[in-house]
Amino acid sequence: MQIKRLAVLVSGGGSNLQALIDAIQSGEISAKIELVISNREQAYGLTRAAQNGIATHYLGIKNYPDSNARAEKLNTLLAAHQIDYVVLAGYLSILKPETIRQYEGRIVNIHPSLIPKYCGEGFYGHHVHEAVLANGESESGATTHFVDEGVDTGKIIYQERVPVLKGDTVETLSARVLTVEHQLIVRTVRDLCSGSVKTSE
C-alpha cells in the first residue's frame, strides 16, 4: 500500500498532532506527515513538528494579511507536497470553499464534543466544555468528521463518549476529552489511510 501524505493544521498545543506523530513512528498509521501548518506563529504544535523533522509553515494575519492570498498559499503548499489528506487537529480557522472542494472527502477535523451537540460557530476550545458543564450534561465526548463548507457539519466518522463527573471543571473535563481525542484522531487517520473509512459515498 502506498504511504499517504498528510498535512496537519494546528493552532495550539498540538497534542493531537503528537498522537499522530507517535502512531506513525510506532507503525500504527501508514502515512507520512509532510508538513504542519499553523495560523498562529507561536503555536507549540509547530515546535513539536520541527522537533520531529517535519516542515512547518506559519500562514497567518502577519505574513498573509489578505485571506485570499493566505488561502492561495495554503493550496499551493498542499499541491506542492502532493497531499492526500488534510487533518485539522485543533485548527481554529475556517478553510476557504476552494480548498474544501479541491480536497472533498480528504479533509478531516476533530471536535471536542458529541456533534451535533456543542458545535458550530463559537463552539471551540474551552467554550465547548463550559457550555457542557453549564447545561448539566452527564456526558460529553469527541467527534471526528469530514469537513464540508459548513462549520462542524460534515459527515461524522467516529465518536467516543466520556462521562461528565460530579465536580468537573473545564480543566478536568477538557483533559478527559483530550485523552479520548488522541485515540480517536489516531483511529480516524489510520482507517482513512488504510482505506477502511470511505472518503465519500
Which DSSP symbol is given to 150? S
* Residue closest to ligand GRF when measured from CB atoms: 90
Q: Are 83 and 54 in contact (CB under 8 A)?
A: no
Enumerate the active-site residues: 111
Q: Report if residue 168 touches ligand GRF, rule: CB under 6 A.
A: no
Cα separations (Å) of 128 from 4, 12, 104, 182? 32, 16, 26, 17
Q: Are 72 and 167 in contact (CB under 8 A)?
A: no
Footprint of ligand GRF on 19-58 (CB under 6 A): 45
Of the residues 176, 181, 189, 197, which one makes contact with ligand GRF according to CB under 6 A: 181
Least distance to ligand GRF, CB of residue 168, Å: 15
| Angle in degrees, CA 115, 119, 121, rounded to 5 | 155
Which stretch in 49-57, 70-78, 105-113, 162-170 sits in contact with ligand GRF by CB under 6 A?
105-113
Which stretch in 1-9, 28-36, 63-71, 104-112 sits in contact with ligand GRF by CB under 6 A?
104-112
Cβ distance to ligand GRF smaller for residue 45 or 154:
45
User: For the residues of 94-145, what is the DSSP string, one character each?
Assistant: PPPHHHHHHTTTSEEEEESS-TTTT-STT--THHHHHHHHHTT-SEEEEEEE
Least distance to ligand GRF, CB of residue 114, Å: 12
Q: Report if residue 187 touches ligand GRF, rule: CB under 6 A.
A: no
Binding site for ligand GRF (CB under 6 A): 10, 12-16, 45, 89-90, 110-112, 124-125, 178, 181
